């Protein structure tokens, strides 16, 4: 599952690699544009959003082996992230993995971001019964973000082996 799939590039890459993909995107223009762009791939497009994922959870969706949250987590307040993590963990299969990217630094023009740390996110995962599997800090690759001091933390969480 790709949560906050935006233009659908990550969902499309996963589907092209043979995975069954559910793309969750609340913005109609992005979701419909992605559906038009990648309509030939087996992707289920869902209108839903964090922190509640109400449509997805009420549908009784079966667990996901992989949940991707790319570039979305910092758009949630700390309270929304605290509410969202157990929901995400509840959608994860027994041996599944949640991958989250944390954006650090100033927001892009017209966007709102909230401070988020790896320690907070690891704590939310632990409270949901998941271990931190990956915690890597990286720079940005976009020129404007580099100039603005934007960095990223890439994290993955799952059950103990």
CB of 80 closer than 8 Å to CB of 53: no
Q: Residue 129: left (phi > 0), alpha (psi -120 to 50), or beta?
A: left
Q: Which long-range contacts (CB under 8 A, 24 or more apart) does 90-93 make?
A: 90/57, 91/1, 91/53, 91/56, 91/57, 91/61, 91/63, 91/64, 91/67, 92/63, 92/64, 92/67, 92/130, 92/158, 93/63, 93/64, 93/65
Q: Which domains does the chain have, with CATH numbers?
A: 1-49 (no CATH), 50-161 (3.40.50.150)
Q: Which tens digit of pLDDT belongs to each residue from 28-60? A: 999 999 999 999 999 999 999 999 999 998 887
Say whether pLDDT at 6 is over 80.
yes
Say whether pLDDT at 4 is over 90.
yes
pLDDT of residue 149: 72
C-alpha closest to that of 68 among 126, 5, 121, 112: 5
Q: Specify the pTM.
A: 0.92
Q: Which tens digit of pLDDT belongs to each residue from 97-153? A: 999 999 988 777 788 889 999 999 999 999 999 999 999 988 777 767 666 778 889
Alpha-carbon gap, residue 101 to 123, rounded angstroms: 15
Q: ∠ at Cα 104 (97, 145), nearest 5°? A: 110
């Amino acid at each position: 599952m790709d949560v906050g799939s935006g233009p659908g590039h990550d969902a499309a890459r996963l589907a092209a690699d043979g995975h069954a993909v559910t793309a969750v995107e609340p913005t109609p223009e992005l979701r419909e544009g992605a559906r038009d762009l990648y309509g030939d791939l087996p992707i289920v497009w869902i209108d839903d959003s964090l922190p509640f994922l109400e449509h997805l959870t009420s549908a009784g969706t079966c667990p996901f082996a992989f949940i991707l949250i790319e570039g979305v987590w910092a758009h949630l307040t700390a309270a929304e992230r605290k509410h969202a993590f157990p929901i995400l963990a509840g959608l994860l299969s027994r041996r599944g993995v949640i991958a989250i990217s944390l954006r650090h630094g100033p927001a892009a023009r017209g966007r709102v971001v909230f401070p988020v740390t790896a320690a907070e996110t690891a704590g939310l995962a632990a409270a949901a019964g998941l271990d931190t599997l990956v915690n890597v800090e990286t720079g940005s690759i976009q020129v404007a973000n580099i100039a603005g001091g934007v960095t990223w933390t890439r994290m993955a969480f799952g059950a103990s082996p």
